[in-house]
Amino acid sequence: MSDNRHSERSREAGISLAEEENISSPLYVPMKCLEITDKHRQYSDVDVIVEKRFDLFVNEVHVTTFFASPMELEELALGFLVCEGFIEPGTGKGSIRITSDSIFCTADIGTEELAALTHQQRCGTTSYRRNTARHIASDACFSKDAILNAVEQLKEKGKAWHRTGGAHTSMICDSKGEVLFFCEDVGRACSVDKVVGKALLSGTDLSQCALVTTGRLASTMISKAVNAGIPLVASKGATVREAVELANGAGITLVAFARKPNMHVYSMEQRIVFE
């Protein structure tokens, strides 16, 4: 029996134990647990993902509370501001100041306007957002193989997931399916915010890119892509009706159940080319 209950996942992904042991990250910490199987009971040391609370303030107004992994917080803040519609992609990030438990941002939006935004309670956080309709007019196209190959890399690159089983992965890929940016986080939405923020800090044109992420494609995930200007979102997981409706209205290609050799395309299928 393995001392690490996720070692089988690592071997399946082609990651050696030696490589695993050399991974050092604030994403997880070792903890002891009693491992019970049908034949054995033993105490094991396992890696457990870290989840920390961070309050986000925009122009001194409390906007949301993240329960996120304690790294890449500047990327998280910038990605959130864009993905939730506070600022447009490419308009600059303003100032971002990070303390032990808070993130303070400035943006070109007044305090009164912040207070007038729709107030939403979801997934343990409170956030504000603009209720504005957007449409993605990107001419980017993606081959079926490029999308499927990119989705397969979620498993290959998810080191924290292999160690803990508790991390979500998001990637920004180009039209050929090459991974440009990659982030892991304990929160699915936070992994998207972080990878979008990382791409924007590098000056990447997201209108020619795809967002590939783990987990179910809910409407909140599609709305992030809409605000960031990303024309295609793909996952190995399922989607929901509201996400499909939003993607159709916004001109986003939504790909779910992307598992070689198949995929389900729910909207804007004309962006998928067959080579």
Task: State the residue range of the domain holding 25.
Answer: 7-49
Q: What is the CATH number of the domain that holds 94?
A: 3.10.20.10
pLDDT of 227 reads: 93
- Are 155 and 266 contained in the same domain? yes
What is the structure's pLDDT at 180? 97
Are 40 and 83 in the same domain?
no
Are 160 and 261 contained in the same domain?
A: yes
pLDDT in tens, the chain (275 residues): 344 445 444 444 444 434 444 445 788 999 999 999 988 899 999 999 999 999 999 998 888 899 999 999 999 999 999 998 888 898 877 899 999 999 999 988 877 777 666 555 444 454 555 555 689 999 999 999 999 999 999 988 988 988 999 899 999 999 999 999 999 999 999 999 999 999 999 999 999 999 999 989 999 999 999 999 999 999 999 999 999 999 999 999 999 999 999 999 999 999 999 86
Taking the C-alpha atoms of residue 7 and residue 5, their distance in angstroms, rounded to an integer, is 6
Q: Are residues 150 and 263 in the same domain?
A: yes
Distance between the two ends of the chain, CA-based, in angstroms?
A: 45
201: tokens are 């800090």
Determine, yes or no, domain membership for 136: no
Tokens of 224: 């992030």
* Whether 225 and 262 share a structural domain: yes
Do 159 and 106 share a domain, yes or no? no
The structural domain count of the chain equals 3
65 & 148 share domain: no
Asked if 244 and 171 sit in the same domain, the reply is yes
The verdict on residue 40 lying in a domain is: yes
In a shared domain, residues 187 and 257: yes
Burial pattern 89-124, b for ≥16 Cβ within 10 A else e, equals beeebbebeeeeeebbbebebeeeebeebeeeeeee
Last residue in a domain, options 129, 158, 179: 129
Taken in order 150, 240, 192, 84, the sign of the CA dihedral is positive
Q: Read off the pTM.
A: 0.86
Cis amide linkage into residue 261, ω under 30° from 0: yes
Cα–Cα distance list, 179 to 143, 147, 149, 155, 158 (Å): 15, 11, 10, 13, 13
Examine the domain organization and report whether 43 and 113 are in the same domain: no
Considering the domain architecture, whether residues 26 and 68 belong to the same structural domain is answered as no
- Residue where a domain stops, chosen among 129, 150, 183: 129
